[in-house]
Amino acid sequence: MWGRNVYDSISKFLQFQLTVNIVAVIVAFTGACITQDSPLKAVQMLWVNLIMDTFASLALATEPPTEALLLRKPYGRNKPLISRTMMKNILGHAVYQLTLIFTLLFVGEKLGQTRCSVRRQLGC
């Protein structure tokens, strides 16, 4: 039961960390290439990594095992740690996060100005 729980915790942690780090690298690289300045400075990136790694490891590694883990078949020795489903989840979440971040990065100022102009017209 504990072995299966540890395996599941490691899988969850890897999925989360790979998603976050893929997004961070792409945002830093693309932002630096397009805007000629990194969206996050080095110290900000270190803080983001420190906070994300710490809370993710605590949240994903402290889940207690349950009896339900014994109801499923054990994984084989040759089963890859990152399965196809995990890879699809990682890429899907990365695309979602990148879409949201790039929208805020490149169009966010225009969205904020639109909101302010609407407020001015309403007299708020």
Return the residue matching tokens 């540890």.
6
d(CA 68, CA 7): 14
Domain extents for the chain? 1-82, 83-123
Residue 59 backbone phi and psi in degrees, to 5 = -70, -40
SS3 106: helix
| pLDDT single digits (tens) 64-97 | 888 888 888 888 888 888 889 999 999 999 999 9
What does the alpha-carbon distance between residue 35 and residue 41 come to, in Å, rounded to a whole number? 13
Tens of pLDDT, residues 2-53: 888 888 888 888 888 899 889 888 988 888 888 777 777 788 878 877 887 7
Rounded-to-integer distance, Cα 81 and Cα 105, Å: 34
Question: What does the DSSP assignment read for 26-57?
Answer: HHHHHHHHHHSS-SS-HHHHHHHHHHHHHHHH
Q: How far apart are CA 4 and CA 41, in angstroms?
A: 39
pLDDT at 36: 78
- What predicted TM-score, i.e. pTM, was given to this entire model? 0.74
